[in-house]
Structure 1
Amino acid sequence: MHSAANQQSRDSQAATGLKVVFNILDKWGCSITQVQHILGISRAALYRYRQNPQSASLSRDQLERLSYVLNIHASLRTLFDNPKNVYGFMSLPNDNPYFNGRTPLAVIGSGQFADLYETFKRIDALRGGLW
């Protein structure tokens, strides 16, 4: 059973995370549809949460999706010093086996949780992440 204080703390963290993730996704050049798919939210919720992140009530799946976006971004910041590369990497075609010429953004834009995980895993591995 979650206490009201725990729920408020989680909602506050979700609101903060949403603001940061929306900023990252905007800088990656995501379309509205891609943002919906990546975060697993409806168009109405997307607009509502952008206007008022405090109104967000996110599921565990959605919180995990936020976490993966933040972790992908953190890995890119470790890999690259140049902001153009940090934010541009996701929209560049990638010829590595998993991506097969697709952009990482196209892969995670599918909305499949596994694609988000696999994309993070491969980007994290570039920086020497241990799995």
Structure 2
Amino acid sequence: MTLVLQSQGFTKDQCVAGLRAAVGILEKWQASSEQACRILRISRSTYTRARQRDAEWTIGLDHDQMQRISFVLNIHATLRMIFDNPENVYGFPGMVNDNSFFNGRTPLEIMAQGDMISLYETFRRIDVLRGAQW
């Protein structure tokens, strides 16, 4: 596992920091623990440990898990660019969306399907809303 982490350029401390940041965002989005675990492809025990901010622990995450964390962080950054108020930044993922891709479901429901394509497509649809703001 250490060789995989080194070849990807992620230390165990970076994995913990990224995971804790993503879990914190998912909590603010009102994601259930089950949704968060499916979105990040982590176990319930890993999710519980990531929520315990004061606990010392390390974890090695694979490329897929780090990519999922990156999508959550990038969706959050995009929402912060689009919306000025915290209610929309943190509430949007839980809002029913009638866009043809979402078909009356929330972005959280789509992401929690657990596959990378659903996470990527949710990010892509939200990213389009920001226009050329980068």
> Given the two structures, how large is their TM-score scaled by the length of structure 2?
0.86
Q: Which residue number corresponds to residue 18 of structure 1?
A: 19
Q: Which residue number corresponds to residue 42 of structure 2?
A: 41
Say which structure is richer in helix. Answer: 1
Q: Which residue number corresponds to residue 119 of structure 2?
A: 116
The separation in 1 between residues aligned to 2:130 and 2:44, in whole angstroms, is 34
| Amino acid in structure 2 at the alignment position of 1:44 | S
Higher mean C-alpha deviation, range 104-113 or range 7-16: 7-16
Q: Which residue number corresponds to residue 33 of structure 2?
A: 32
How many residues are aligned here? 130
Q: How does 1:1-131 map to 2 (within 5 A)?
A: 2=3, 10-51=11-52, 52=55, 54-128=57-131
The separation in 2 between residues aligned to 1:102 and 1:39, in whole angstroms, is 19
The separation in 1 between residues aligned to 2:123 and 2:130, in whole angstroms, is 11
| Amino acid in structure 2 at the alignment position of 1:12 | D
* Unmatched segments (≥5 aa) in structure 1: none
> Given the two structures, how large is their TM-score scaled by the length of structure 1?
0.88
The separation in 2 between residues aligned to 1:98 and 1:53, in whole angstroms, is 41
Q: Judge conservation of contact 2:23–2:47 (CA < 8 Å) in 1.
A: no
Q: CA deviation at 1:97?
A: 0.9
Q: CA deviation at 1:48?
A: 3.1
Q: CA deviation at 1:2?
A: 4.7
| Amino acid in structure 2 at the alignment position of 1:43 | R
Which stretches of structure 1, 4 residues or more, deviate above 4 A after TM superposition? Answer: 1-9
Identity, % of aligned positions:
48
Change beyond 3 A, Cα 1:40–1:81? same
The separation in 1 between residues aligned to 2:5 and 2:102, in whole angstroms, is 43
Give the RMSD, CA atoms, in angstroms. 2.5
Q: Judge conservation of contact 2:13–2:58 (CA < 8 Å) in 1.
A: no
Higher mean C-alpha deviation, range 28-37 or range 121-130: 121-130
1:29 counterpart SS class: coil
Q: CA deviation at 1:45?
A: 2.2
